[in-house]
Structure 1
Amino acid sequence: MTISDYASLLADAGDYSGRDDVAHLFPRFLALAELKLNRVMRVADMEKTATVPLAEGEGSLPAAFLEARQVLGADGRALRALPLQEFNSNGTSAGAPIGYAIVGAAIRVRPKGGENIRLTYYAKIPPLTAEAPSNWLIEKAPDVYLYALVEEIAIWERDAAKAGAAEALKRQAMAGLGLADERLRWGNAEIVIGGLTP
């Protein structure tokens, strides 16, 4: 059977783990697996772009935000991430924003302004559910999902050997996805050495 959606993932996770009695716990295992994947996975399919309106130099981050990839000011200039000490020392200056900091569920820019910023960010994997049975990850790398679920089932069973084997397979599948992502992004790129040349 090919894994293509929520139902087929549930069936294969049961087969691979040797457990056909965990369907009632499947949503819990799936949520835990996605939580762990969101902590470490960063691939192009997770990238989103949003316009964030600011009020007094602060705006709300998108609900699915995980990590900033690029922040652009209203003039299209890239803003840099600032350490909080430097960020706080720029609070009273005027002019176009030069940097940003993430504080809680907000993004703040300094100097303060009321213009919109353009945020490119990594977003959480859209959760799989019976009502939303497909997402980009199950279409692109169903093995990542499968091994992540087998790992969660093994942890629930308190079977350390099985959990370790599933985790190793999950890491291998994630490494393959990461390699494919790097090739997608950089496969045709030229190496350019910056700085002065003799």
Structure 2
Amino acid sequence: MTLFDYASLLADAGDCSGRDDVAHLFPRFLALAELKLNRVMRVADMEETVAVPLTEGEGSLPADFLEARQVLAASGRALRALPLQELSNHVTSEGAPIGYAIVGSAIQVRPKRGENIHLTYYAKIPPLTAGAPGNWLIERAPDVYLYALVEEIAIWERDAAKAGAAEALKRQAIAGLGLADERLRFGNAAIVIGGLTP
């Protein structure tokens, strides 16, 4: 089975689910599948880096933001994620930034400054549509998409057994993608434990 784009995914999801009458619902199933995948997947292909300009220590997050991976001050120093209550204790504009917190669709950095930060973050999977028929996930792991769609179709059918089987296959496919991602990122790197050793 070969999946390359939106149209072939639609055909294969219909075949695998045994339903050839759901094409009109396909965009809905696809949106639900991508919503669920965005909640659980965190792989290198999802990483983006942007400069975020700050005004009084606050900047807008990218529209496709899911989770921060690294936040760097303008100096290049890494900032720590802090609880909002602790961050609020640093309301002055004096000194170098020490940390950040995500509040809604904004990032707050304290002490308040008006400089750029560099944000590396996990971005949402670019949605597949008829007008944008490909993305990194359909190229790297079409099975993840396929099983996620079959699961959504089974949920719509109210077929718990089929939904459970598809969900198990989806989990296996995501685990396989995660393992490949770990190998890509770390290869045969040695584990180094920081701090004092006896």
Question: TM-score category by the smaller chain?
Answer: over 0.9
CA distance in 2, matches of 1:88, 1:193: 33
Query: Is residue 73 of structure 2 the alignment partner of residue 69 of structure 1?
Result: no
Q: Which residue of 2 aligns with 1:175?
A: 175
Q: Which residue of 2 aligns with 1:194?
A: 194
Mapped contact 2:93–2:113 kept (Cα < 8 A): no
CA distance in 2, matches of 1:55, 1:151: 44
Q: Which residue of 1 aligns with 2:16?
A: 16
**Contiguous gaps of at least 5 residues in structure 1:** none
Residue 197 of structure 1 deviates from its aligned partner by 3.1
Question: What pairs with 1:5-84 in structure 2 (closer than 5 Å)?
Answer: 5-84=5-84
Residue identity matched to 2:6: Y
Residue 18 of structure 1 deviates from its aligned partner by 0.1
Residue identity matched to 1:73: A
1:24-52 CA-to-partner distances (Å, cap 9, x unmatched) read 00000000000000001000000000000
Question: What pairs with 1:76-115 in structure 2 (closer than 5 Å)?
Answer: 76-92=76-92, 94-115=94-115
1:157-196 CA-to-partner distances (Å, cap 9, x unmatched) read 0000000000000000000000000011111211212222
Identity of aligned residues (%): 87
Residue 93 of structure 1 deviates from its aligned partner by 5.5
CA distance in 1, matches of 2:195, 2:73: 26
1:131-178 CA-to-partner distances (Å, cap 9, x unmatched) read 000000000000000000000000000000000000000000000000
Mapped contact 2:58–2:109 kept (Cα < 8 A): yes
Per the alignment, in what secondary structure is the counterpart of residue 39 of structure 2?
helix
1:106-144 CA-to-partner distances (Å, cap 9, x unmatched) read 000000000000000000000000000000000000000
Q: CA RMSD in A?
A: 0.8
List 4+ stretches of structure 1 deviating above 6 A: none
Q: Which residue of 2 aligns with 1:127?
A: 127
**How many residue pairs align between the two structures?**
198
Q: Which residue of 2 aligns with 1:157?
A: 157
Residue identity matched to 1:35: L
CA distance in 2, matches of 1:165, 1:128: 24
Q: TM-score of the superposition, structure 1-length normalised?
A: 0.98
CA distance in 1, matches of 2:169, 2:98: 43
Q: Which residue of 2 aligns with 1:138?
A: 138
Residue identity matched to 1:34: E
